[in-house]
Amino acid sequence: MWLGRTKSRVRSHDASPPPPKFACSSFKDIHILLSEDDSGGATLGTTRKLSICHRTRSSVKSLIRSFSHLPFLENAAAVEDELRPEIRIPGSGATIVVYFTSLRVVRSTFEDCKAVRSILRAFRVPIDERDLSMDASFAEELQRILGFAGKSKLMLPRVFIGGRYIGGAEEVRCLHETGELKKYVERLPRAELGTCDTCGGYGFILCIECDGSRKCYSEKAGFKSCTLCNENGLIRCPSCFSAPL
């Protein structure tokens, strides 16, 4: 007879636990698994990556902080002043040059120009006032001096003292309140106050060649455009300015 099936008394060893599963569909996350986060652990979802902009800002801040500790610089603003190129007007070292507008189209701009001219006139020094509304060539000249390209919008007024660029209305007010503006101006020669009898204080007169018509007549060529005056038929007052622009 066949013996009946009996259970084996030999116990089988306990099965070892299954190996940990590694669920990764591609190799794109391997570099994240191998890197450690800020807390010291390697986590897939919590690893923080700094963006390029953040790294750039951090490097700039660290650079500014390193400059601020230098003994000859008090703060980061001093670094910017040292590195900023100086803007100058050649041949105007003995006067103040003010680019402004007398038009009231923009009230704030007109008030700023008026206030700056009043502040500078109180020092009784030579002032070369260049009104952009009277002569469009002043706008092109100012753009060329400041390095603006094309028809860039100019913020007025713009002030140059002793040939050196100072700034606009806000800079002049701040320098005047702190007393620094006087230090810039006191190096200039004194000027007599009064209104010019020739131009009435406007700085321009009608062209003596074409009487403001911008047309000159000659028997050989007939009528031709006047080359002496500007687009408004004006020339700079010879009593206020010894040399033409």
- How many Å apart are CA 166 and CA 103, to the nearest integer? 23
Q: Please report which residue ranges of the chain form alpha helices under DSSP H.
A: 30-34, 52-68, 76-83, 107-121, 137-146, 169-178, 180-185
Question: Would you give the DSSP letter of residue 32?
Answer: H
Q: How many CA atoms lie within 13 A of 21 on its CB side?
A: 3
- Show the CA angle centred on residue 202, arms to residues 199 and 208, nearest 5°: 45
Per-residue tokens: 54:
């953040």
pLDDT at site 221:
79
113 CB burial (10 A radius; 0-12, 13-18, 19+): buried
Torsion of CA 80, 69, 175, 81, to 10 degrees: -20
Q: What is the pLDDT of residue 239?
A: 85
pTM for the model: 0.63
DSSP 88: B
Q: Are 164 and 92 in contact (CB under 8 A)?
A: no
CATH topology of domain 96-185: Glutaredoxin (3.40.30)
Per-residue pLDDT of the chain (245 residues; tens, 9 = 90+): 445 555 545 454 455 555 555 455 454 555 554 554 444 444 444 445 444 444 445 554 554 455 444 444 344 444 344 445 688 888 888 899 999 999 999 999 999 999 999 999 999 999 999 999 999 999 999 999 998 866 667 899 999 999 999 999 999 999 999 999 999 999 899 887 778 888 888 889 999 999 989 998 888 878 889 999 999 999 999 888 754 33
* Per-residue model confidence (pLDDT) at position 88: 86
pLDDT at position 53: 47
Ranges of CATH 3.40.30.10 domains, the chain: 96-185
Contact 130, 116 (CB under 8 A): no
